[in-house]
Structure 1
Amino acid sequence: MPAIAPAPHNRDQMTGGPLRIVHCLRAPVGGLFRHVCDLARAQAGRGHLVGIIADATTGGSRAEQRFAELRAVCELGIERFAMSRLPGPGDLSAAARVRTVAERWQPDVLHGHGAKGGVYARIAGTRLRRGRKPVRAYTPHGGSLHYSPSSPAGFLYLRAERFLSARTDLFLFESEFGRQAFEAKVGRPDAVVRVVHNGVAPAEFEPISPAPGAADFVFVGELRTLKGVDTLLEALNLMEAGEHGPTAVVVGAGPDEELFRDRARNLGLERRVTFPGQLPARQAFALGRCIVVPSRAESLPYIVLEAAAARLPIVATNVGGIPEIFGAQSERLVPPGDAPALAAAMRRILCDGDAASAEASDLAADIATRFSLDSMAERILDAYFACAGAN
């Protein structure tokens, strides 16, 4: 696709014309990447010019495929270069490269996603040397908010959030929990603030039936301790120790995969737990009769929305925005890191499949009314315009 020349523009564009929107994120994986992909398609479909800036060292072949598909809708372009996961000197050069791309694309909105994407977008938007300043939007997606202010990492990250808060025009929280956590750990933003829930598409409400030979349970997500896979393994062992008992499929990849494989072996669960690697969510869902989300922390996880839309029974922890998804059924959620409570909830699903199916159908109907992809896209665009009007 040929490069788009910077277009002359002014505030009039922000009151009704097509916007030039740039999304900045680090790792193109998981729910955050899905959110950016959904927004890019929805915004381009509404006539806006969209670009994406992301890390070049993560995501693998699946990200490459997604970016190849997105090039058809990203008229401004897609730029990828190295972005480090941990803070370091490379952050300054990465932020400078984001600024260089932004000066070329001249966005009306520079929208950072996640901790690192939010840092780069807001620094770049503040330090642009050519053209007018864009609306600096930020969606945390959990990120820094998962950390305790008393931990060394949390102290560093939350201080950075306070510094950047004054350099943010628009906060878009994907859950009420995220907004409250930000206010408690960082402070009340002096900017336009909106809570806009993630949304799912109509096609995702097509029910999924378990494949032949499906396991009793399936986990789908990044394989790191924050996601609670170790708690799931402990719960399976509590339900029945050794080779016999309920089975599970752990779908995904991540930094703690070997740790979880070792834990499964140490518990004697090798024949009951399999690790097939990364798979598309709906393909992974068919590998189990119930999805387990044992996370220690979350924002508003797409995997729960997707599973609920597909009418899968769900066992999940009471963290982040998950209660906002479950609504009237939130009393079924279990405490994070509590293997006995998780085992009890999983055992209940096995013992009363009819009740689990009825709950799944009711939750899917509720999700359809409250978590629409179209509504998410429209509300975020409205927030862009409202922010521009406030500036």
Structure 2
Amino acid sequence: MPETEPLRIIHCFRSPVGGIFRHVRDLAEQHSNAGHKVGIVCDSTTGGDHEDRLFDQIRPYLSLGLTRIPIRRSVGSGDARALWRSYKEIKSLQPDVLHGHGAKGGALARIIGSVLRVKKYRVARVYSPHGGSLHYDQASLAGRAIFSMERLLEQLTDAIVFVCDFERRTYETKVGVPRCSARMIYNGISDADIGAIPTRSDGVHFLYVGMLRDLKGPDVFIDAFARTERLVKHPLSALVVGDGPDRDKYDAMMMQRGLGRRIGLLPAMPVQDAFSMSNIVVVPSRAESMPYIVLEALGAAKSVIATRVGGIPEMLGADSEALVNPDDPDDLARVMAKAVTTPGWHDSTMPSMADFKARFSASVMADGILALYRERLTAIRSA
């Protein structure tokens, strides 16, 4: 197909929070600026004021509109209604590309795209897992059912986009080598998010920013902070920024350990504001795919200490001294102590900004995905 032909692109996903929402916002802005028509279909029951503000920011890039309907996380009777309402809306927009993100969004996009194909619409059906269902245990009943469904849906898929090599390898292990076209294209952040953010004069030694739930490891961070103080033999300071279901538990944990005055707890805020509070960002997750918080922190020229999970080693380097074992507060404290006591630790450990931009910019990501859209559409139209 002609390289200059503008495309009509619809992104389908369930929850407008977290990394998937960030990924779609970046793609929408990049592709809209390149002259393409973009729209979003997602859940109407999740998200709050913060997400509403984010939607307001990207509305100028959504020439095909924003459609929000109830889409439940679990499989249920409401799925049929969501599917029908999504189908009617998407059909009226006559998309060239349906890109589903996450398990629910991927199922909606591929099923609707396949129905449109039966009706002679030449639409490309693209799927990005974004971790999600791939975190399930292969040995569990739920995991076996989900991976079987993933395999079945490949028959309705023109291409799968993996956001990191870890995600690709996990998919191949748990689901199988894709029987459709597949591509690994790293997540990226925009040029506006790449640039050093100075730390305030009243900044703290360490910062955790993210969802307050055990999967993300705030409890490991709190435990490691106390151990770091014992290693360096003097008091330190830290800040936990975020919201989530386990917030009260972590607050109580800090109080019980006498850390209430040295670890602050603040609600979610724009990540740039959070980054101004520390030079060192700690990401103690027990499981991840390709977390944006690491990309954003590196883009802001912060030192990052993170667990060796998911695609994080692909960002920091497989042999980076900044990587620690998951769920291991002793190992995390060891590196935290080294980061605050070793002169030049940042420069000797963090990737160079030039290398970072070459691999993890939003423009590189958007160009790669757009090339895949055109490749698949060319194949469909010539079949």
Same-fold status (TM-score > 0.5): yes
Counterpart CA distance in 1 for 2:237 and 2:12 is: 39
Report if aligned partners of 1:317, 1:334 keep a CA contact under 8 Å in 2: yes
Counterpart CA distance in 2 for 1:328 and 1:85 is: 34
Report if aligned partners of 1:326, 1:363 keep a CA contact under 8 Å in 2: no
State the aligned residue count: 376
CA 1:83–1:258: 2 relative to 1, 3 Å: farther
| Partner in structure 1 of residue 39 of structure 2 | 51
Counterpart CA distance in 1 for 2:38 and 2:326 is: 38
How far 1:220 moved relative to its partner?
A: 1.5
CA 1:331–1:87: 2 relative to 1, 3 Å: farther
Q: What SS does structure 2 have at the residue aligned with 1:70?
A: helix
Q: What are the Cα deviations for residues 151-180 of structure 1, in whole angstroms up to 9, with x where unaligned? A: 343233222212212221110111011111
| Partner in structure 2 of residue 103 of structure 1 | 91
Of 51, 64, 70 in structure 2, the residue corresponding to residue 82 of structure 1 is 70
The more displaced of 199-208 and 284-293 is 199-208
Q: Does 1:230 align with 2:219?
A: yes
How far 1:326 moved relative to its partner?
A: 1.2
Q: What SS does structure 2 have at the residue aligned with 1:330?
A: coil
Counterpart CA distance in 1 for 2:84 and 2:352 is: 45
Q: Does 1:115 align with 2:87?
A: no
Of 30, 33, 45 in structure 1, the residue corresponding to residue 18 of structure 2 is 30
Report if aligned partners of 2:283, 2:304 keep a CA contact under 8 Å in 1: yes
| Partner in structure 2 of residue 269 of structure 1 | 259
Question: Identity across aligned pairs (percent)?
Answer: 43
How far 1:328 moved relative to its partner?
A: 6.2
How far 1:358 moved relative to its partner?
A: 4.5
Counterpart CA distance in 1 for 2:53 and 2:111 is: 29
Q: Does 1:367 align with 2:372?
A: no
In structure 2, the gaps of 5 or more residues are none
Report if aligned partners of 2:321, 2:349 keep a CA contact under 8 Å in 1: no
| Partner in structure 2 of residue 279 of structure 1 | 269
Counterpart CA distance in 1 for 2:375 and 2:303 is: 39
CA 1:246–1:166: 2 relative to 1, 3 Å: farther
Counterpart CA distance in 2 for 1:235 and 1:189 is: 40
In structure 1, the gaps of 5 or more residues are 1-11
How far 1:141 moved relative to its partner?
A: 1.0
How far 1:65 moved relative to its partner?
A: 1.5
Q: CA RMSD in A?
A: 1.9
Report if aligned partners of 1:264, 1:273 keep a CA contact under 8 Å in 2: yes
Q: What SS does structure 2 have at the residue aligned with 1:122?
A: helix
| Partner in structure 2 of residue 182 of structure 1 | 171
Report if aligned partners of 1:95, 1:121 keep a CA contact under 8 Å in 2: no
How far 1:23 moved relative to its partner?
A: 0.4
| Partner in structure 2 of residue 4 of structure 1 | none
Counterpart CA distance in 1 for 2:200 and 2:368 is: 37
Counterpart CA distance in 1 for 2:5 and 2:173 is: 37
How far 1:192 moved relative to its partner?
A: 1.2
Of 367, 370, 373 in structure 2, the residue corresponding to residue 381 of structure 1 is 370
